[in-house]
A = this chain, B = another copy of it.
């Protein structure tokens, strides 16, 4: 179904493709589509790594300021991951980058990861407010970096992520 959907999105764009069309080309009912995917947007935006990131943030020293701690945690979580199939990921993110509704859905879709980071920071002694602010800022930077990366050719994803976090952490003014 995902493959079929990506084809149609490439042909007619995200908004120009209805769930009915996807289901039809997949030889299936609209109802069946919604049994496999909770929403149309979930074809493109997901939140796969939250527990890993939570643990990684917790592992960083509680002496760091919350931004640094969250950023370091994400960097280290990233290194533990198997490198994803970049081309697939890039295709998906490109569609997200070009569709305003999906950009918004993306930040909604990382709410779970954000919550996990907030919890980890709080457990490390950071106040609730600071934790929420730091987590949302770091996740926003990360999401923006992913979208920007998707629009470029021939760049390493890990590198783009590091560069994004550096904008927050290693500020050279």
Assuming A100-B111, A105-B104, A173-B63, is B129 touching A168 (CB within 8 A)?
A: no
Chain B residues positioned under 8 Å from A171 (CB to CB): 65, 67-68
How far does the alpha carbon of A134 sit from the alpha carbon of B164 in the complex, in Å?
9
CB distance from A8 to the nearest CB of B (A): 24
Q: Is the CB of B145 within 8 A of A141?
A: no
Judge if A103 is at the interface, Cβ distance under 8 Å.
Answer: yes
> How many monomers of this protein are in the complex?
2
Judge if A17 is at the interface, Cβ distance under 8 Å.
Answer: no
Partner among B108, B167, B168 whose Cβ is within 8 Å of the Cβ of A104: B108
CB distance from A64 to the nearest CB of B (A): 5
Chain B residues positioned under 8 Å from A129 (CB to CB): 145, 148, 163-164
How far does the alpha carbon of A85 sit from the alpha carbon of B104 in the complex, in Å?
28
**Complex interface bits, A79-119 against B, C-beta within 8 A gives 1, otherwise 0:** 00000000000000000000011011101100100000000
Closest to A61 in B: B173
Chain B residues positioned under 8 Å from A137 (CB to CB): 137-138, 140-141, 144, 167-168
How far does the alpha carbon of A167 sit from the alpha carbon of B173 in the complex, in Å?
17
Chain B residues positioned under 8 Å from A134 (CB to CB): 141, 167-168
CB distance from A14 to the nearest CB of B (A): 15
CB distance from A90 to the nearest CB of B (A): 16
How far does the alpha carbon of A128 sit from the alpha carbon of B167 in the complex, in Å?
12
CB distance from A164 to the nearest CB of B (A): 5
Not counting A101-B108, A129-B164, A139-B140, a sample of 13 additional A-B residue pairs whose C-beta atoms are within 8 angstroms of each other reads A63-B173, A65-B173, A68-B171, A68-B173, A103-B108, A104-B108, A104-B111, A129-B145, A133-B148, A136-B140, A137-B140, A137-B167, A140-B141
